[in-house]
Structure formats: C-alpha cells, structure tokens
Amino acid sequence: MPRTIYFDYNATTPLDPAVRAAMQPFLGEIWGNPSSVHHLGRRARAELDAARDRAAKFLGAKPSEIIFTSGGTEANNLAIFGTARLLKAKGKHLITSAIEHPSVLQCFDYLENNEGFIVDRLPVDVNGRVLVADFEKLICNDTVFASVMASNNEIGTLQPVAELGRICRERGIIFHTDAVQWFGKEPFESIGQFHADLISICAHKFHGPKGAGLLYIKSPLHPDPLFFGGGHENERRAGTENLAAIIGLVHALELFTKAPVFDPVKIKPLMERLKVTIQKLWGCEIVSPGSDSLANTVSFTVRGTDGMAMLAGLDVEGICASSGSACSAGSLVPSHVITALGKPESANSLVRFSLGRDSTPAEVDFVCELLPAIVRRAQLAGLAANGL
C-alpha cells in the first residue's frame, strides 16, 4: 500500500493537472493588471471578462451576478455581512442553522453581539437536518435574511434548501446558501435549483486551486462590500483580481460539477465497506445520515477517546482523516454539529472519512484492516489518561 491514504476530500482536493495547465499562461505570459489601460492590462481584462461569461453561462446566471472571491469563507462573509447591513433599516431578524460552517456561524455571532441584530439558530433533527416547519415558525415581520447550507461539511447531511428558498422568496426574505460542499458531489443543473439569492462556491473542493471562490448574487441585489479601495467586481469586492486562480475555478467548474467528480457509483460501495467495519467496532457510532447525505462522507464518534487521539493514530499509519471542519484544524473545541445532534458527550470524539475520485478499494480494505486496532489503542490511551 502507498504510505499516504487520503480520506479527507471534504477538506481539500488535489489540483487537477488539466486545471493547472489552464492556469499556467496566467502565471507567466498573461500577467497584467485587469484594471490597467495599457495593452497588457486590456488583455488581462478581456480574459477576466471571458472567465466571468463562462462562469455565468455554466451556472445559468448573468455575468453581472458573478463575484469572484478568495474562497468560500470570503463568499460567506460577503453574503452575510453585506446583506444584513444592507437591509438593517428594513429589519434586524436573521435566521441560520445550528450546524453551519464556522465562516457562517461566526458572522451571525458578530452581527448579534456587535451590530444589534437578532439571530435565531434553527435546531436540527437526529440526522442533522433542519425542518421546514421549524423554519417557517421563526419567520416574523422583522425577518430580512436567512442562511442555511446546502450540505454539511462534517457529517454530510443535505438540507432542503430549495424549499427554504421558495419560502423566503414568497415572504420577501433574502436567502443565502453555502454550497461549498455541494458542487462536485451532488447533481447540478443550474443556479436556479437552489432558489437562493446568494450562493457560495469554492474551487479547491472540486480539484480547483485554493484561494479562488465565487459568490452568486441575484440581480438586482447589491450587498454592502467588505473591502474598499477600488471598483473591482462591479464595486462589490475591491482588490486586484487573482486571474490565474479565477481561470482555475472556472475550468474546474466546467470539468467537474455538472457530472460530479465525486462519482457516487464508484464511491458508494467503498463507503458501505467502511460503514460495515465501523458499525462492528465497540464504542463507535456513525452519525452521518443513511440517506439524503453526501455519498462520499461517513462520520462517526468513538467512545472513550477523542478525535485528536484518533487522528494521530490514523496518521501514524499514513491515513489522512479529519475530526470536522478543516478550518478548525488543531482545535480541541468540541464539534458544534455533534452537540446540535443532541450528543454533547460525544462532541469531542468525531472522526470523518471523506473519499474522492482517487480513492480505491485497496485503500478502503487497508483502512478497514487497521481501524479496529487504531480505535482500541486510542480507547486504551483514554483509559490510561483518566487513571483507569
């Protein structure tokens, strides 16, 4: 077996060689600033405009509705801060869910603690799914904005965002969805399928480059910008555009999201093999839903130890996994997702395997062979640490 087995595709994916090749001219030959008026700048501007046109055509949007960002975190921040501040005079009530990515939750925390907004955080059921009826009950005359992710990064739950979006549209509420984990994993037809006014996308989740993202903003919405200092991105995001990364983002979108690069036909049998092994292990409980969930993701908790001990044990064997959001790497903070599931006692023992296009049956067999011993060692270490 190879020394490294990578089962952490929800955290990031390797840059695809075809995407790298598409980016290459923009790391050398085409290096002008798209805002410069000379011929080098005009050439860069033409390429930037063409990339925006390609993204819009692919997504089923207008070019003016495509805002390039540095990634999913910035796209989420711009959507939430920009829209809430824009609409503050109309109302201060906001709705999100309890299991959003930190780049969403922390925005709402800030707005609530520092800017006078009222935030309701939707609870979830045992599968990590928000209930449409609960969402409707929270809506009041002062509700102006809601944000619910399309699919959860930690346990894989798919949310009923299309239905939530329709409700918001009927009630005149602006709706955002963080679709960072959706693209490349779930079927995509057009941006309209989400019924959302704002949608966040991130390139490195589907074999594009890091540092490249996109926020779809349905016309004529114009959120307040976060950055100032130029009229870039239709005056919505100041800063010289990272043209090479943008080209990579658009190329990866076109290659890997209409027909998801995370092929469920290939991945599901591998995941079933992992699930059968995990279910047989004492103290292990799968927390990913059995249906309406990302096909590539299985998360479980391990009684008697913590996620960091498990990840260390896996890494010793060359197995790369995660204990939740990669943006919280190195953190010992218990998983807010597992807490929201009503399992606070297990929130610090989450392990996530997320497979990808390069995962193989041999790798899964290797992990399944070693996993019982890894779990047992981590549990024994937990007993020793507690003096038992």
Whether 326 has a pLDDT exceeding 60, the answer reads no
More confident: 167 or 381: 167
Measuring CA to CA, which residue among 112, 163, 117, 131 is closest to residue 340?
A: 131
* pLDDT tens sequence across 227-258: 998 878 887 898 989 999 999 999 999 999 99
Whether 265 has a pLDDT exceeding 90, the answer reads yes
* pLDDT tens sequence across 11-45: 999 999 999 999 999 999 999 989 889 999 999 99
pLDDT, residue 328, reads 52
pLDDT, residue 230, reads 81
pLDDT, residue 111, reads 98
Whole-number Å distance between alpha carbons of 113 and 193: 33
pLDDT, residue 1, reads 56
Average pLDDT over residues 65-80: 97
pLDDT, residue 231, reads 79
pLDDT, residue 384, reads 62
Percent of the chain with pLDDT over 90: 87
Task: Give CB contacts under 8 A, 24+ apart, made by 356-362.
Answer: 356/6, 356/9, 356/13, 356/261, 356/262, 356/267, 356/296, 357/207, 357/261, 357/262, 357/263, 357/266, 358/6, 358/14, 359/6, 359/7, 359/9, 359/267, 359/270, 360/270, 361/269, 361/270, 361/273, 362/1
Which residues are CB-contacts of 292 (< 8 A; sequence separation ≥ 6)?
127, 129, 157, 158
pLDDT, residue 236, reads 87
pLDDT, residue 201, reads 98
Average pLDDT, the chain: 94
With beta carbons less than 8 A apart as the criterion, state whether 349 and 307 touch: yes
SS3 content of the chain, % helix, strand, coil (to 5): 45, 15, 40
DSSP character at residue 41: H
* pLDDT tens sequence across 154-173: 999 999 999 999 999 999 99
Active-site residue numbers?
327
**Domains of the chain, CATH where assigned:** 5-13+262-385 (3.90.1150.10), 17-256 (3.40.640.10)
pLDDT confidence band for 153 (50 / 70 / 90): very high
Q: What is the pTM of this model?
A: 0.94
pLDDT confidence band for 327 (50 / 70 / 90): low
Whether 371 has a pLDDT exceeding 90, the answer reads yes
Whether 364 has a pLDDT exceeding 80, the answer reads yes
With beta carbons less than 8 A apart as the criterion, state whether 141 and 91 touch: yes
Whether 329 has a pLDDT exceeding 90, the answer reads no
Whether 323 has a pLDDT exceeding 90, the answer reads no
* pLDDT tens sequence across 87-146: 999 999 999 999 999 999 999 999 999 999 999 999 999 999 999 999 999 999 999 999
